[in-house]
Amino acid sequence: MQNGAQALIRTLVNAGVRVCFTNPGTSEMHFVAALDSAPEMRAVLCLFEGVATGAADGYARMAEMPAATLLHLGCGLGNGLANLHNARKGKVPVVNIVGDHATYHVKYDAQLQSDIETVARNVSPGFVRTSQTTEQLCRDAVEAVKVARSRPGQVATLILPADVSWGQGGVAEPAPAIAPPAAADDTTVQAVAAAIKAGGRSAVLLGGMALHEAALLAAARVAASANVKIYAETFPTRMQRGAGLPTVDRIAYLAEMASIQLKEIDTLILVDAKAPVSFFAYPGKKSYLPHDGCNVLTLSTPAQDAAGSLTKLAVALGAERSTPALAQASRPGRPRGKKLTAEKVCKAVGHLLPDNAILVDEAISSGLMLSKFTSGAPRHDLITLTGGAIGQGLPNAIGAAIACPDRPVLALIGDGSSMYTIQSLWTIAREQLNVTAVIFNNASYSVLNVELERVGADEIGPKARAQLDLHGPVLKFAQIADGMGVRSTRATTPDEFTTALERALATPGPHLIEAVVPPALTGLKLKLLPHLLGSLDRMPLSVARMLKRKIAP
Amino acid sequence: MQNGAQALIRTLVNAGVRVCFTNPGTSEMHFVAALDSAPEMRAVLCLFEGVATGAADGYARMAEMPAATLLHLGCGLGNGLANLHNARKGKVPVVNIVGDHATYHVKYDAQLQSDIETVARNVSPGFVRTSQTTEQLCRDAVEAVKVARSRPGQVATLILPADVSWGQGGVAEPAPAIAPPAAADDTTVQAVAAAIKAGGRSAVLLGGMALHEAALLAAARVAASANVKIYAETFPTRMQRGAGLPTVDRIAYLAEMASIQLKEIDTLILVDAKAPVSFFAYPGKKSYLPHDGCNVLTLSTPAQDAAGSLTKLAVALGAERSTPALAQASRPGRPRGKKLTAEKVCKAVGHLLPDNAILVDEAISSGLMLSKFTSGAPRHDLITLTGGAIGQGLPNAIGAAIACPDRPVLALIGDGSSMYTIQSLWTIAREQLNVTAVIFNNASYSVLNVELERVGADEIGPKARAQLDLHGPVLKFAQIADGMGVRSTRATTPDEFTTALERALATPGPHLIEAVVPPALTGLKLKLLPHLLGSLDRMPLSVARMLKRKIAP
């Protein structure tokens, strides 16, 4: 005889959910007590809910199976919302278990009472349900997992009232049947092939699952046989790259740069991606980035099989035996000089990145040169900030390390970003995860200095500047990390940094390296940027390309 | 000629909003740029939105005027939700300014796009609005402030699209007219007076604004002349107390204890309070705590004037000239012995609490003895966890210190609680606030060990225990604080702690003291607790009272 919580956990395990990232309170105590009834379910305690949700996101990106979260009522869900937003935008499956008051307690409007369902809808449009009885609970749970695991992946939120959890008579359900995604139909494939054959400059834009190896190789075969360029979406959920895989440029974050990339494209073919739009709106600038004459076609949607669709396209183009262009192995040299910069940190990463690493990039402005320096590094997976809600990188690293215990995880994080979920360090230490976190300490919300210029705000005064400035006091990340149990080093020269990174990568387990750097875009460069960007589309393409190589992500 | 953001800030200033707690992103850059146009508006940068919202909450509790927050789209609001929940439950006015994409950009579903209004409704039932034009903006803003400032105080959320912010033609509005709250009408007052005069055991239960001096004194006059006991709600928003003010017991957190308090009450009179309910539901236990025969009457609602209503009641009872019982000045001695305990920390606080201090209590299980040891301390304000969403204390301390720069703020925080908004320490350092934070480091979610027993979860295994255990690694708060720029001390003996507290209170500015203590309820005490509590209402009242004195908050 099982109670609801025990049957629920068994149902989750049956459905392939093997990790639960927890931050429980009283209303979740029966779920907590039930954890020991299922040896297959790993429970990972997080000290803040945003760590739990971001870890679940990172886990699923690598495991291709959802993790569960365990959150405490509406406030716990609220704290986890930003990273669930990132998961939603990345089409990543997550199953939230949100504890609630007992059904009969709701009417008393106790302190923690709030409307959980409205909050959940922000991130779980496809599945939000409050289980009303212990008998119904496992059927709800299996449906939640089914919604999460179907393509595109989704965040599903199951709200678990305490009495439904503690009630007797829970009956575990078997795994849900999940239909594999279908490839694009022949008509669509033929139409896309015809558009490519018609001539003009074409590009495929790969997103989501289309950035995994099989789809990348199929896209590269298409590119090799026809006049087709390959782009990746700006912020990939998970992109496989490095030596032996196709080199794929990402659409630039700065709309001005993206417009240059798209200027050359007459036919843009979407594969598990959407047509590029500006990250933010700017006065007098376009939001939608393909040019007016660009023909935008969809080969396959996020609900479909990207690799299968691209393979069919390759066949339709007679490209199935063409030889894809693959990145050659090449690494930058060891960075030299006296002064550490963000660029030199990225160079050291390219110099040392181990085989089969997982690279988490939330370096924001400090990561501008990362793609360039790692394009010929050994094969690795790149995880990026899919929803723009900073504070994702460290939690993602937790999840990735738990999904792939045999692979090193290297997380590059901006100082501003790191502070949203700095509590991650404790879980990294507690679980002794093989994560090396690099924090770029430039003592500013550096990218916002650029944005402040870009939005055309004039007369920028001291109070405004102070909102972007993290001086006074400058954060000491090495100390913060030590306080949470992670071994740490502070590096101020290229040699110190490179040596610290070598040592961290040679010793599995948690490490933090604080890289003290100037903002990546400072002084003259910062002042010039808006002007440069504004004039880019009037430049000769060769100059624009050079600049693009220099500053595109 | 003003843009929307400039006119909005001017409108906020006109309406009495003088501080903005910020965590901006690109969509808020025009608001940030406009800050320098209004010297009256102080801008306080926070590194996490939960710090900003909790600071706004703490500010308004003390200033009795709302602060603004500046948050970045739905994700920023999500991160701030837990402390806005605490503000909502505490009936505290807060005005959120949530930046959004430009109105015309929304349809492109860019990375940070989400449904902000649904999230906002969770905490702002009374006012959520997305301003659609620059012309309308300031009228919306003045209405938001009006809703926030009217009784009961509310959280109002104004969503500010980027183009509404940067658009020209903003026109600042004057301050809203806000009607003062009315006292209870004569009929109600007479009915309550008649119930008291009818005999039996009566109590007034004071909440919200009824815990400020004028209302407390009126309630104490009523108590002195009739057979009326005074209780305070379990988690006061702001309670004035100490020598020279009436001593008021709070209704206990543990429902079992609260039932004992309420057992003696035949008539319960609510003043800006609701009838006590259990914080959580427990299997087989009641949620609603007044006994079946208790007559519950409302003297005044949160929309009414508590002090005026109690004064009318005193007059109706002929008690207006009676002498209220006031707490005598008395302090506990300096704590002695070798081992530091949570009780000794509370004793040291009572021993040293300065005159006119603001005491923020989020010590959870470690604060059990705080009320007892500070009841005769010099007059102070007590701020507590109104909504049960932990992570409120440090942000509240920021807001209280900014509202009352001449008063020392002492924040007592559990280790688990502190980690939700540990980023607060940076803002405390940056603004050089006169805040002494005491973190009780007992390396556990101690209260959850109690709750795990209370919910009747049996067979508690190692995985379950691990979810409540903060060992491995033990957090080192002194180092974390140093890393964020706050001077810190680690205390392991009563003398070390008391000396550190003396020093901190003698030196205005930021301090953190890490108090290394065992869980307040351990070993035998913990094992006995559920049995004790279960048998309390079968005990002789004298024994129950003794126990109540020992463990009630």
CATH assignment at residue A455:
3.40.50.970
Cβ contacts (< 8 Å) between B121 and chain A: which residues? 115, 118
CB A397 within 8 A of CB A385: no
| Contact call for B29 and A451, based on CB within 8 A | yes
Reference B351, options B514, B494, B235, B249; nearest CA is: B494
pLDDT lower than 50: segments of chain A: 523-524, 530, 534-540, 542-543, 551-553
Same domain, B25 and B154: yes
Burial class (CB in 10 A: 0-12, 13-18, 19+), B292: exposed
CA A185/CA B195 separation, integer angstroms? 78
Say whether residue A190 is in contact with chain B using an 8 A CB cutoff. Answer: no
What count of other Cβ atoms lies within 10 Å of the Cβ of residue B459? 9
A317/chain B closest Cα distance in angstroms: 32
CA B282/CA B456 separation, integer angstroms? 8
Residue B126's pLDDT is 97
Residue B485 domain-assigned (yes or no): yes
Helix (H) or strand (E) run with residue A2 in it: strand A2-3
Task: Compare CB distances from A24 to B36, B118, B467 and report the shortest one's residue.
Answer: B467
Torsion of CA B275, B281, B285, B287, to 10 degrees: 20
CB A41 within 8 A of CB A9: yes
Same domain, B305 and B349: no
Query: In sequence order, what are the beta bridge partners of B512?
Result: B437, B488
Task: Please state, for a pLDDT cut of 70, what percent of chain B lies above it.
Answer: 94
Same domain, A235 and A367: no
SS3 label, residue A3: strand
Do you find a cis peptide bond into B473, omega within 30 degrees of 0?
yes
Cβ contacts (< 8 Å) between A418 and chain B: which residues? none
| Contact call for A455 and B166, based on CB within 8 A | yes
Backbone angles phi, psi at B410, to 5 degrees: -120, 115
Same domain, B496 and B464: yes
CA B232/CA B355 separation, integer angstroms? 22
CB A93 within 8 A of CB A153: yes
Reference B258, options B290, B298, B300, B221; nearest CA is: B290
Same domain, A90 and A123: yes
Q: Which of A21, A22, A75, A426 to mutate to test the interface with B (most CBs of B within 10 A)?
A: A75
Residue A1's pLDDT is 76
Give the burial string for A107-131 (b: 16+ CB within 10 Å, else e).
ebebbbbbebbbbbbbbbeebbbbb
Quick check: B507 pLDDT over 50?
yes
Which residues fall within 8 angstroms of residue B42, CB to CB, at 6 or more apart? B18, B19, B20, B402
Residue B527 domain-assigned (yes or no): no
SS3 label, residue A222: helix
* Higher-pLDDT residue of B458, A165: A165
Same domain, B49 and B144: yes
Q: Which residue of B has its CA nearest to A431?
A: B472
Residue A406 domain-assigned (yes or no): yes
CA B501/CA B506 separation, integer angstroms? 8
Residue A305 domain-assigned (yes or no): yes
Q: B399 vs A430, B146, B360, B498, CA distance in Å? A: 33, 21, 11, 26
Residue A531 domain-assigned (yes or no): no
Residue A535 domain-assigned (yes or no): no
Cβ contacts (< 8 Å) between B163 and chain A: which residues? 281, 283
Say whether residue B40 is in contact with chain A using an 8 A CB cutoff. Answer: no
What count of other Cβ atoms lies within 10 Å of the Cβ of residue B5? 29
Residue B171 domain-assigned (yes or no): no
CA B553/CA B547 separation, integer angstroms? 12
Backbone angles phi, psi at B161, to 5 degrees: -60, 145
Same domain, A389 and A498: yes
| Contact call for A388 and B47, based on CB within 8 A | no
What count of other Cβ atoms lies within 10 Å of the Cβ of residue A487? 16
Residue B434 domain-assigned (yes or no): yes
Residue B112's pLDDT is 94
| Contact call for A162 and B388, based on CB within 8 A | no
What is the pLDDT averaged over residues B187-211?
97
Cβ contacts (< 8 Å) between A111 and chain B: which residues? 89, 235, 279, 386-388
List the structure tokens of A37. 């009834």
* Higher-pLDDT residue of B216, B548: B216
When divided into structural domains, chain A yields a total of 3
Task: Compare CB distances from A457 to B30, B455, B485 and report the shortest one's residue.
Answer: B30
Same domain, B11 and B76: yes
According to DSSP H, which parts of B227-377 are helical? 255-263, 306-316, 342-352, 370-374
Residues 398-427 of B with CB under 8 A from A: 416, 419-420, 422-423, 426
How do residues B437-454 score in pLDDT, each as one tens digit? 999 999 988 888 878 877
Same domain, B9 and B157: yes
Q: Which of B166, B201, B225 is the last residue of a domain?
A: B166
CA A549/CA B18 separation, integer angstroms? 46
How do residues B16-55 score in pLDDT, each as one tens digit? 999 999 999 999 999 999 999 999 999 999 999 999 999 9
Residue A521's pLDDT is 67
Which residues fall within 8 angstroms of residue A140, CB to CB, at 6 or more apart? A129, A131, A158
Quick check: B524 pLDDT over 70?
no
Structural domain boundaries enclosing B20: 4-166
β pairing state of A68-72 and A19-22: parallel
Same domain, A15 and A140: yes
Mean of pLDDT over chain B:
93
CA A217/CA A206 separation, integer angstroms? 12
What is the pLDDT averaged over residues B324-329?
96
Q: Which of B298, B316, B334 is the last residue of a domain?
A: B316
Quote the ipTM score: 0.95
Same domain, B516 and B481: yes
We report the CATH number of the domain holding residue B265 as: 3.40.50.1220
Residue B536's pLDDT is 47
Same domain, A163 and A194: no
Residue A525's pLDDT is 55
Q: Which of A6, A9, A19, A26 to mutate to test the interface with B (most CBs of B within 10 A)?
A: A26
Q: Which string of DSSP letters, residue by residue, matches B134-161? A: HHHHHHHHHHHHHHHHSSSP-EEEEEEE
How do residues B371-418 score in pLDDT, each as one tens digit? 999 999 999 999 999 999 999 999 999 999 999 999 999 999 999 999
Give CA B363 to chain center in angstroms. 12
Cβ contacts (< 8 Å) between B104 and chain A: which residues? 281, 287
Give the burial string for B21-60 (b: 16+ CB within 10 Å, else e).
bbbbbbbbbbbbbbbbbbeebebbbbbbbbbbbbbbbbbb
B196/chain A closest Cα distance in angstroms: 26
List the structure tokens of B18. 């003088």
Query: In sequence order, what are the beta bridge partners of B441?
Result: B516
Strands of A391-510 (E only): list them: 409-414, 435-441, 487-491
CA B409/CA B509 separation, integer angstroms? 10
